[in-house]
Amino acid sequence: RSNLRSTIRVLEVESGRVVPFTIDVRYSLGAPAIIWGRARWSRDGRAIYFVGGNEQGLSGVFEQAFAPGRNTTATRRPVAGFSPEFVTESLGLSPDGSRLTLSIGQESASIMVADGVPGALPPARKLR
């Protein structure tokens, strides 16, 4: 795993005070180009859901307890996603907290051949 990381921090809206709580979301060089650590509050405010990667490098949604002043990493648990077929990019929670929606992306690459197209010429070859 790499030292790359996004850090989730919490601010108190009313005062602007930084709350003593962080979640480090680690990812590797070459990982999908998503916002690692994109987060949402649980309905009761006791947990944070966020996009992160598992040990296999697959992206998905984790849940982790929110407790100011405490390291709650041990409470982190995978919730959804983590598929080799798609990249979990974002998430949404229903107002009552009973449903989670994933936004996914699929990475693909292809090569197209332009054969017989006016103006499409092969690269010039150097003679030796």
Give pLDDT, residue 2.
59
Report the chain's mean pLDDT, rounded to a whole number: 88
Of 13 and 3, the one with more pLDDT: 13
Give 41-80 pLDDT, tens digit per residue.
999 999 999 999 998 888 999 999 999 999 999 999 999 9
Element (H, E) at 20: strand 18-27
In angstroms, the CA 58 to CA 55 distance is 8
Give pLDDT, residue 41.
95
Residue 109: band (very low, low, confident or very high) from pLDDT cuts 50, 70, 90: confident
DSSP class of residue 73 equals: G
State the burial class of residue 96 (Cβ atoms within 10 Å of its Cβ: 0-12, 13-18, 19+): exposed
